């Protein structure tokens, strides 16, 4: 199904082809603008759209086998909601033509969600300096913690080393065993006179 077919499918429900085309354009535009801005668009029962950062990496050209550097990039991602997954897998039956397959959001939930998103952004901006300060403190604590066990480890390593030298010294003091080597009998060679 392409965009024109989608418009035709909803034209009867919306009140005409022109209104359906405008509605589809408006919905898609709103989703694209929100995702580009870094927001997550979540439609209950259908799924969510979000922006995902991909770090820089190395990839391999399949034709030449050459190693190629790929730049850091952002890509859109869609995750299907549980209701959508259930309908596609067949665990739930698709409603008849007149009913809506994806459940509508409860009244007032869209306004509440918008307020929550705005509040979340405001608190994230305020919390950013506090997070940096907390990060500095934790890295300082980690550095101190790493230094302390290192000293203990060297002390533990030194103690067994003394024991092995004591064993070696005791072995040197003990009389060495005498080993008698058996000599192979020498072959006698006699010179023949002519």
Q: pLDDT tens across 97-122, in order? A: 666 677 655 555 555 555 666 666 66
Band of residue 45 on the pLDDT scale cut at 50, 70, 90: confident
Q: What pLDDT is recorded for position 27? A: 94
The answer for residues whose C-beta is within 8 angstroms of residue 8's C-beta and 6 or more apart is: 17, 20
Alpha helices for 37-108 (secondary structure H)? 82-89
* 135 class by beta-carbon count within 10 Å (0-12 exposed, 13-18 middle, 19+ buried): exposed
- Answering whether pTM is above 0.85, one says no
């Amino acid at each position: 199904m392409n965009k024109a077919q989608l418009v035709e499918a909803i034209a009867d429900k919306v009140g005409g082809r022109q209104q359906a085309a405008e509605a589809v354009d408006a919905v898609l535009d709103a989703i694209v603008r929100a995702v580009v801005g870094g927001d997550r668009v979540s439609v209950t029962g259908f799924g969510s759209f979000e922006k995902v950062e991909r770090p820089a990496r190395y990839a391999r050209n399949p034709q030449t086998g050459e190693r190629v550097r790929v730049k850091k990039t952002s890509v859109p991602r869609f995750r299907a909601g549980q209701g959508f997954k259930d309908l596609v897998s067949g665990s739930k039956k698709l409603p008849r033509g007149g009913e809506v397959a994806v459940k509508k959001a409860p009244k007032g939930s869209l306004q509440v969600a918008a307020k929550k998103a705005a509040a979340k952004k405001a608190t994230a901006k305020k919390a950013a300096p506090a997070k940096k300060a907390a990060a500095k403190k934790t890295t300082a604590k980690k550095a101190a913690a790493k230094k302390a066990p290192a000293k203990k480890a060297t002390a533990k390593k030194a103690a067994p080393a003394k024991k092995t030298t004591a064993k070696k010294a005791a072995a040197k003091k003990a009389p060495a065993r005498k080993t008698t080597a058996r000599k192979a009998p020498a072959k006698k060679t006699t010179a023949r006179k002519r």
